[in-house]
Structure formats: C-alpha cells, structure tokens
Amino acid sequence: MDLNPEGVKANGRGDRETGTLGKLVALLDRVALADGPMRFTDILSLSDQPRGTLHRQLSHLVEEGLLEVDRDGRYLIGLRLLTLASRSWARNEFRAVAEPHLQRLHDVTCETVHLGVLHDAEVIYLDKVEGRQSVRMYSQIGNASPAYCTGVGKAALSALDDAELAIRIAALEFRPYTQQTLRNAGELLSDISEIRQRGYAFDIEEHESGICCVAAPIRSDDGHMLAGVSVTGPAYRVTPQSLQAWAPLVVAAADSIMMDMRNRMGPKR
C-alpha cells in the first residue's frame, strides 16, 4: 500500500475500488454489467468478499434504491439511477448546445448521428438522432465504448497532444471486436496520425460488423473536454464514397458545436 505501481487498469479507468464508496460503486457496476438479475451467490462468486460483507453492502445499495431485489431475491439495477441520470442528461449544457446541429446533420444524411464525449479511454454516447426505427431507440445513449474502435473515440483521441495520447493508450487493452478492429498501439497511432491530417476519422466495421461511420472531433476551448460527432450507417447502404462525402458536413457540424460552446461559455476565463 506504499508504492503501488498498479496504475490504471485495462478499461482505461482507474478501478481502484478504494474506499467504501469505491467498493460499492464497483459492486453496482458489476450488477449493472451482468445481463440479467443476479442471485446473491452469483455476485459472491464474482466479488472476492466474505458473504457477510457482501450481503450488507448489497442491502445498503438496495436501501438507497440504487439496486432492487426482484421477487426471486435476485438483484438488479434500481430505477433511482435512471432518475439521477435523466437529470444529468437533461441539464447537460454541451448536449443541449449540440442538439440542433445533430438534428441538422441527420436531416442531410438521413443516417444515425451520434454525439459522444471522451472519458479517459472510453467514449460515452451523450445523444443520438435517428430515423423512424422505433425499436432500440434509446439504446445507445449513456453507453460507454472503448475509444480506440469507434469513430467518435478515435476522432476525440486525435485531438489530444502526444503526451496525453501516450498516457491514455498505455492504459488500453486491445480487444478484437471484429476482423477490422485495430490490434495494437502502433496501428492506433498510425490511424490517429491520418485522422489528424484529414481532420476526421473513419470506423469501417471496427467495433461492430456491418456498421461504419465517419466522425469529427470537438475540442472545448479550454482543451479540457474532448468529444466527437459521427454519422453512422450499415455497411450495405453506406459506401466509403458516401462517408467521404459526408466528412466535410460532419466536420462542419463539429466546428459549429465548438463555436456555439465558445459563445455560450466564452465570457469566462
């Protein structure tokens, strides 16, 4: 516990699980990540805590509404989180500023438009505009994906300076989601160098087979927040040519969002 070289783990976030809160949030994460309600024993086998401790921790989370217990005594994520999150989303200034631009981009391209922000080495999708598909409508919002295999993520990474970039890449663990997924830091760096030259990024089935996109970076004026916009579509409908054609539009949208943010926040600092 003196000099811990553990650093940052592979997901790009430092899951120190330190402190009471850290442990509880990690637990919350674990239950959230499961794809269904979990029985006490399931959670017990995943976490390396004694039964008594785990039980009390779960009870506390349930008491606060962060977890819920179904009629079979299984644990699942509680709705209280949805309430908290909806407020975080509704009051997010950046999202609000970007919204009309995303809408416009969608009107022109008729494909799905995403807005995502970079968090360590992950992209969190903040907003999405898509057509009348009715199903899975909200699915993407709030979703966190590795930055290295998404258009928005790579675009955002490209806006970092080399030092910062190196730090974040060092924390990565490259997992091959598809045939096209970048496989190591070298491939990522070379792609990022291209992205910097062009000003926009492509994702050709790197994260999900059959899905490709073109994305542009958004820098906040103080350089502290990085984000990206993308236009995404199915490979059978979206050709490299159309992606290429959309690129300037995406870049323009990203720039407009930057300008609007600057004007909104400008007077300060």
Partner DNA sequence: AAATGTCGTTCCAGATAATGGAACTTCACG
Partner DNA sequence: CGTGAAGTTCCATTATCTGGAACGACATTT
Binding stretches for DNA (CB under 7 A): 19-21, 23, 39-41, 44, 49-53, 55-57, 59-60, 73
How near is the Cβ of 86 to a second copy at its closest, in Å?
3
99 lies in the binding site for a second copy (CB under 8 A): yes
The interface with a second copy within residues 112-171 (CB under 8 A) comprises: 117, 119, 124, 126, 129, 134-135, 138-139, 141-144
What distance, in Å, lies between the first and last C-alpha atoms of the chain? 39
Q: Which is nearer to DNA, 20 or 197 (CB)?
A: 20
- With CB under 5 to 8 Å by kind, the binding choice for 119 among a second copy, DNA, none is a second copy
Q: Which residues contact 172 (CB under 8 A, 6 or more apart)?
A: 10, 12, 121, 146, 148, 185, 188
210 lies in the binding site for a second copy (CB under 8 A): no
- With CB under 5 to 8 Å by kind, the binding choice for 175 among DNA, a second copy, none is none
178 lies in the binding site for a second copy (CB under 8 A): no
∠ CA 79-207-82 to the nearest 5 degrees? 10
How near is the Cβ of 245 to DNA at its closest, in Å?
47
Q: Which is nearer to DNA, 22 or 234 (CB)?
A: 22
84 lies in the binding site for a second copy (CB under 8 A): yes
81 lies in the binding site for a second copy (CB under 8 A): yes
How near is the Cβ of 74 to a second copy at its closest, in Å?
11
The interface with a second copy within residues 11-70 (CB under 8 A) comprises: 13, 16, 19-22, 24-25, 28-29, 32-33, 35-36, 60-61, 63-66
C-beta separation of 22 from 16 below 8 A? yes
- With CB under 5 to 8 Å by kind, the binding choice for 23 among DNA, a second copy, none is DNA
- With CB under 5 to 8 Å by kind, the binding choice for 85 among DNA, a second copy, none is a second copy
C-beta separation of 244 from 89 below 8 A? no
87 lies in the binding site for a second copy (CB under 8 A): yes
Q: Residue 116's closest CA among 65, 173, 157?
A: 157
Stretch that binds a second copy, among 80-88, 149-157, 199-207, 238-246 (CB under 8 A): 80-88
* Residue reference for tokens 């943010």: 261
Chain residues in the site for a second copy (CB under 8 A)? 13, 16, 19-22, 24-25, 28-29, 32-33, 35-36, 60-61, 63-66, 71-72, 76-92, 99, 103, 117, 119, 124, 126, 129, 134-135, 138-139, 141-144, 222, 224, 268-269
